[in-house]
Structure 1
Amino acid sequence: MSEIEDVNLLTVDFNNIRFLETDDFVVLACLIESFYAQGSQVAFEGGSTSLNNHLFNIKFKEYWKEGFNRENFTLSKNHTTLCLWKISQQMIYTYTNYAKEYFERFTDNKDLIPLASNIDEVFNNIFDHSKSPVSGYIITQYYPKNNKIIFSVCDFGVGIACSINNDLVKKQEKPIEDWKAIIKSLERGYSIKSTPRNRGFGLNNILELTESSNGKLQILSNTGIVEKRSGEMYRAGDFNFNFPGTLIKVEVDLNTFEEKDDTEDIYEF
């Protein structure tokens, strides 16, 4: 993200806001973090009663108070929301393990390992490619009425589209439109830099998860936006402004996950 002006006090005005989706929360968190990292104090005002109740339950307004550790887990008073979390490389697998166990409580013996491993994949892409001055934020929400989980992750790095095009130029290939670059990042086996963490799979695993779970994937990066519903063609094109980084939103249907296998193998010696 480009340099921001020095601001002594950043006031977040919720007066015209009634509801925030998971993607709204992580984008807002990254924006606040960008100012906070430059020394700005943070204040909040306005908002409907229901919105402020939700903000209170997930402790959102406490995150940028002095002494609050955003890289630790902050238990929410809303049991269907897993805390907003400032992504820390040291705690990636701790978080995804915790998320798996946390949301398995709402399922009828479903195995959420595929969900946890795909959250890992998003985290690792942030640390491998984004070069983000803000490490990124995630929030995960369970919707009991339709038995779905939605998680959103945001960073203010160079963006998937920019990373892909930089890679193409290094290979002496022509750069492509940002939305086409996002789709390219979803190709199986495509990875700018293969590391032990991302294993060279890029974001294709996340695409396959949403396909197999009757879900939805949305990626916004630079000037490109891509949406993919299970069983449908991509909806993709130019966004109306340049988003400084990458926003990924994933929706999955828990009814489609396999049952946990709790049987123990018996070995003869």
Structure 2
Amino acid sequence: MKNYTLIVPSSQRADDWFDFIRESLKHTEDVNNLIVDFNDVKFMDTDDFVVLACLIESFYIKGCQVEFIGGIDGFNNHLYNIKFKEYWKQGFDRSKFTLSHNQTTLCLWKISRDMIYSYSMYARQYFERFARDKDLIPLSSNMDEVFNNIFDHSKSPVTGYIITQYYPKNNKLSFSVCDFGVGIPNSIKRAGIDSEHDFEDWKAILKSLEKGFSINSTPRNRGFGLNNILEFTESSNGRLFIISNDGVVEKKAGEMYHAGSNNFNFSGTLIKIEVDLNSFEEKDDTNEIFDF
């Protein structure tokens, strides 16, 4: 039996995480038992969780078993509360809802086409408990946008993962989505858009954020693009962070873009969205009756 150990980075440095991904993906073949070692990890953000989930899935879909070791007590309690270690147990359905023991965390979810709208609607209802007078429909519609883009463009061997976290101290919400597909820049280049230009990857990501820009979308998603998500973060005093291939783009509401090359050589796309629930409009519960 061939074992392989993933030693999860204990830092929050992007360089450490993407070196970890790139090296680990070289070893997905002929592994019978994957050991995920959390060693001295104390904290993981939403983007860390979805990247790790996609990485584990890359081994799991090739038939290996998964076991977990390490991690300090406090962090292991968090893993228990969100049921992270259960996701790769035999018989566990990762495409369905999994209620966590932690009320501020919406379950890790392996994105499935059939459950897209159910998940986003559930997310809205789940977090309305913390923002009872706010209209969270924009949250669910923008989740739909991200999910549909994954299915339309990513061509990922590993279906994307999402996790959503609420932070009560500042009334903010963070959700991250990751896939190991071709990446936004490659998707644009394959479509032949502006083919006379040799786009750097970060410029291609910026192109994807332009209003009205879309490529080969399915009818349910045609005419919509990542610009909707950009506008959503702007209107909600939030932050949009995208890493895809060798490009990275960050946009905080009211500020200029920070964009450039990262040299991570990441085959896939990671999107992290943070929003301020205080900025959402209040619900309009007025029931109007129209007579015709």
Shorter-chain TM-score tier: over 0.9
Q: Look up the match of 2:126.
A: 102
Q: Structure 1 residue 202 and structure 2 residue 225: aligned?
A: yes
Residue 84 of structure 1 aligns with an amino acid whose one-letter code is: L
Deviation at 1:172, TM superposition (A): 3.8
Residue 137 of structure 2 corresponds to which residue in structure 1?
113
Among 174, 177, 184, the alignment partner of 1:150 is 174
Q: 1:240 to 1:16 in 2, by over 3 A?
A: farther
Greater Cα offset, 247-256 or 106-115: 106-115
Give the Cα–Cα distance (whole angstroms) in 2 for the partners of residues 179 and 167 of structure 1: 17
The answer on 1:211 being equivalent to 2:230 is: no
- Count residues in correspondence: 268
The alignment's TM-score, normalised by the length of structure 1, stands at 0.96
Mean Cα deviation higher: 48-57 or 234-243: 234-243
The 5 A counterparts of 1:1-269 are 4-168=28-192, 172-268=195-291
Distance 2:290 2:149 in 1: 40
CA distance in 2, matches of 1:229, 1:120: 21
1:170-213: CA deviation from partner (whole Å, max 9, x where unpaired): 66422300011111100011111132222322100000011011
CA contact under 8 A between 1:193 and 1:200: conserved in structure 2? Answer: no
Between stretches 188-197 and 156-165, larger displacement belongs to 188-197
Residue 46 (structure 1) shift: 0.6
| Residue pair 1:14, 1:44 contacting (<8 A) in 2 also | yes
**Distance (whole Å) between structure 2 residues aligned to residue 176 and residue 16 of structure 1:** 40
Deviations 1:194-250 (A, max 9, x none): 322223221000000110111000000001111000011111111132111000000
Partner Cα separation in structure 1 for residue 194 and residue 39 of structure 2: 49
In 1, Cα distance between equivalents of 2:124 and 2:225: 21
Partner of 2:7: none
| Per-residue Cα deviation, 1:9-47 (whole angstroms, up to 9, x for no partner) | 111111131100000000000000010000111111111
- Percent identical pairs in the alignment equals 72
Q: Kindly provide the amino acid, as one letter, of the partner of residue 249 in structure 2.
A: V
Shift of 1:268: 4.3
Cα distance in structure 1, aligned partners of 2:54 and 2:77: 21
1:75-112, Cα deviation, whole Å (9 max, x unpaired): 00000000000000001000000001110111031000
* Secondary structure of 2:173 counterpart: strand
Note the residue ranges of structure 1 that are not aligned, 5 or more in a row. Answer: none
User: Which residue identity does 1:212 align to in structure 2?
Assistant: S
Q: Corresponding residue for 2:16? A: none
Give the whole-Å Cα distance in 2 for the aligned partners of 1:209 and 1:201.
Answer: 13
What secondary structure is seen at the aligned counterpart in 2 of 1:24?
helix
Cα distance in 1 for partners of 2:55, 2:167 equals 26
